[in-house]
Structure 1
Amino acid sequence: MKKLNTLMGVALTCYAHFSLAGPIETLNEYNLVVLNDLTSTSEVEGKTIVAGDLSGSASNYGTHLAQNDSSVGSVLVVGSDLSSGTTVNANGHEVIIAGTNNGNINSNSVSNDASQYDFDLIKSEFINFSGYLSELAVNSVLLTSSNNQPSAASFNVGDSVGNDPAVFNITSESFFENNLIQQYDIDLNGQSPSTIIINVSGEMINDSNLGNAVGNITSDVFRENIIWNFFEATEIDLVKQINGSVLAPFADLTNATPIEGSLVVNNFQQNGEVHDALFTGVISYDPDANNSTYPVKVPEPSMFFILLTALAGMMMWNRSKS
């Protein structure tokens, strides 16, 4: 029995490693993913992963999650250190600090075991996923003023999209830096897109001159299906509320108002809340079928693999007994 338990443990450990969630699943589960460092004085309503250090005077996590519910898991996972002077409020949930804890944590459970999180893999998956989205064929268009007069702008879904993803390609200059846009919304145009992907080119993003979102785009039904993909941005400064999930794997991002969706970013100076309108859109993503090099899908282990693992474990066990 002891031998069987040892082999099963080895096999299940390998199984867990080979069934890591991909970026879409992570967006479904985590409200905030910081691929490097987070400095925060605000709150995240859902769960957070920080691959690097966490600093800032005080921050809150899991504020909209049910307390004393073991299925929630860790609401905050920090891959490196919690800085001195930093206070973390976990609202009754578990926290993982893999490095040195120099701060203060209000939590029912604090662990240093982050072994189930492969931070390098998470980063590479999101970088590749962002690149993949940026290359999707455009089928929808942003309509702005044609006479250089202040007016409303509209993200118009193409009339042949149907249930497929609606894909927009815009530049930072044409939208975020366009002071003629007084307000903006999304027009479904009679379609039912499975998700709305807004690819934004440009390295420096600042929305201080942009008008406010109105109408459909401000409802959770829309927010939960939107990805703003800043696939080449290195610096993003948001002073207006953004509706939908934000994917910016290379960017240092600062916000002053809420982000209404999941956020993936390189470094984050958080001065506004991240709300739990988690991404629930549907994207068919198969790197092999697209002949690309985006290694996001992690194949489930076959029974053959598990058998080989068990046999290897048996051999190691026999050697240790001899």
Structure 2
Amino acid sequence: MRNTLYAALVVVATLSAPPLSNAAEITLSEAFDYNAFILGDYTGYKSDVEGNLAVGGNLTVSDFDVGLQLAPDLTASSLYVGGDISYVNGTIRNGQTTVSGDMVATGVTFEGGINADGSVLLTESKVNEGDIFSGATVSLQSAEVVEGDVAASDLVQTNSSINKGDATLSQSATLVNSEISNGTLTANSVSMDADSTANSVSAIATLSATTFETIDFDAIAAEVFAQSTAFGDMLINGTTTYYCAGETHCTADSVDGIVFSGNDAINIYSIDAEILSTGNKSITYDFSTTSYNIINVTGDVVELFNTGFYNTAFDGQYVDNDPGIDYRHDGTYTNNILFNFIEATELNLYSVGVKGSILAPYADVNFYNGHVDGNLIAASLSTPEVYLTNETGETYLAPTGQINNYSFGAIHVPEPASIAFLLSASFLLLRRSRLECEA
């Protein structure tokens, strides 16, 4: 699946040379089909990814949810992992789970099925509706498959039940104090103790192999790298204004306000990581909600914290977590914004709610006590051990940042605006960012 943004630039991994014009269209990498796409490992706790999550390396999480805001679709996966999964407490919602390695899950509810090329160990866990496929062994320890089949090389079932489905094993099945109540158990060898039951048992000589399918992480990664580079090569046509109250000259550490302004269907900005990393500042978006806005960030290390986001489209600050209002917006004011970290190898996000998507293919992201309203595409994601203090003086471990289910490009550009932009694109001029100071 590809998202195409009209009135922008065609960007695909197969391009031999990145064009610099802002005309034509943007074909987004498949990574943008995922709420979060992490090329390497993902480590987190006490948080969630509201949309679908793809992790090219290993996923290690606890007290964690995936897929809350997805439309229910048990034919597709909410979670894809290219390595192994270690999951303690949480729920995979509105879809299946697909893992290329081994899965170990404790206290996890799977609303859909599980597809694993390696082994699957479920302890005190539940699969509500869907099959479990494993290229190795499925172990159920005090676990329940409510409705769905199990297919694997071996099944080890202890204090567990398969309530409505068949179990088909190419080798062996071992049941201890367990049951397969409304399906057939088929295996070359079966061992059941006196406390175990199966509705029907049959033996087979061979079992046809089931093909394991997942997404092509390597191909998507190649697209992501090409995408970030091409965005970075686009002409700057937006204006970046810096403000520093009480100063006669703005320096990187004195900036307390940044405004991104643009009047075109697609606006490109550039900002240095040192300035963006200044704390206790505001960022204001001054452009149409039907435009696309790409903010290219240069620099190896970025720290984004204690930053308030404003938008002139509604003449105020974004509001989050206010119990007195419906604080969850519809994406109108965030789906047209992308921060492209074209050089960053380290991105630290904390105590901030980022309004817009993040593309940081080379960056190891350290993310806690905050959220991103948009896609998050990065090299890896981890959560440092940081303790915070609440209003009552109690200390607690800062949770992994939340990734909310908004998506760059999910906006509607009126047809006349697109056509007008295409006709005028050849007359774009490079406009340098200017520095302004307030007395």
Which aligned pairs between 1:99-118 and structure 2 lie closer than 5 A? 99-104=101-106, 105-107=108-110, 108-112=112-116, 115-118=213-216
Decide which of 188, 211, 225 is 2:307's aligned counterpart: 211
Q: Which amino acid aligns with 1:132?
A: A
Indicate the residue corresponding to 1:199 in structure 2: 296
- Bigger CA radius of gyration: 2
Deviations 1:200-222 (A, max 9, x none): 011111123x5311234846213
The answer to whether 1:267 aligns with 2:380 is: yes
AA matched with 2:338? I
- Cα distance in 1, alignment partners of residues 62 and 229 from structure 2: 35
Aligned to 2:302, the other structure's residue is in SS state: strand
Aligned equivalents of 2:282, 2:67: Cα separation in 1: 32
Cross-structure match for 1:185: 284
Q: Where does 1:70-109 land on structure 2 (aligned, <5 Å)? A: 70=74, 73-83=76-86, 86-104=88-106, 105-107=108-110, 108-109=112-113
Rounded Cα–Cα distance in structure 1 between residues aligned with 2:57 and 2:255: 43
Match of 2:257 in 1: 152
Deviation at 1:74, TM superposition (A): 0.4
Counterpart Cα distance in 2 of 1:89 and 1:192: 34
User: Higher relative contact order at CA 8 Å, sep ≥6: structure 1 or structure 2?
Assistant: 1
The reply to whether residue 221 of structure 1 matches residue 221 of structure 2 is no
Does residue 345 of structure 2 align to residue 246 of structure 1?
Answer: no
Question: How many angstroms apart in 1 are the aligned matches of 2:27 and 2:362?
Answer: 15
Structure 2 unaligned spans of 5+: 1-25, 118-211, 319-328, 384-399, 419-439
The amino acid of 2:77's aligned partner reads S
Gaps of 5+ in 1: 1-21, 285-322
Q: Take 2:332 and 2:62, find their aligned partners in 1: how far apart are those partners? A: 34
CA distance in 1, matches of 2:221, 2:99: 18
Quickly say closer, same or farther: Cα 1:81–1:151, change in 2 above 3 A.
closer
Residue of structure 2 aligned with 1:119, choices 171, 194, 217: 217
1:36 Cα deviation from its structure 2 partner: 0.6
- CA displacement at 1:25 relative to structure 2: 5.5
Q: Structure 1: which 4+ aligned runs deviate by more than 4 Å?
A: 281-284
Does structure 1 conserve the Cα–Cα contact (< 8 Å) formed by 2:39 and 2:57? yes
> C-alpha distance in 1, partners of 2:366/2:27?
22
Higher helix share: 1
- For these two proteins, the number of residue pairs brought into alignment is 251
Once the two structures are TM-superposed, the CA of residue 125 in structure 1 deviates from its matched residue by 0.7
- Residues 84 and 100, structure 2, Cα contact 8 Å, conserved in 1: yes
- 1:43–1:273 contact (8 Å) kept in structure 2: yes
Q: Partner residue of 1:292?
A: none
- The one of 171, 174, 184 equivalent to 2:272 is 171
Rate the CA distance shift 1:150–1:176 in 2: closer, same or farther, 3 A: closer
Secondary structure class of the residue paired with 1:248: strand
Q: SS at 1:99's partner residue? A: coil
- Taking structure 2 as the reference length, the TM-score comes to 0.53
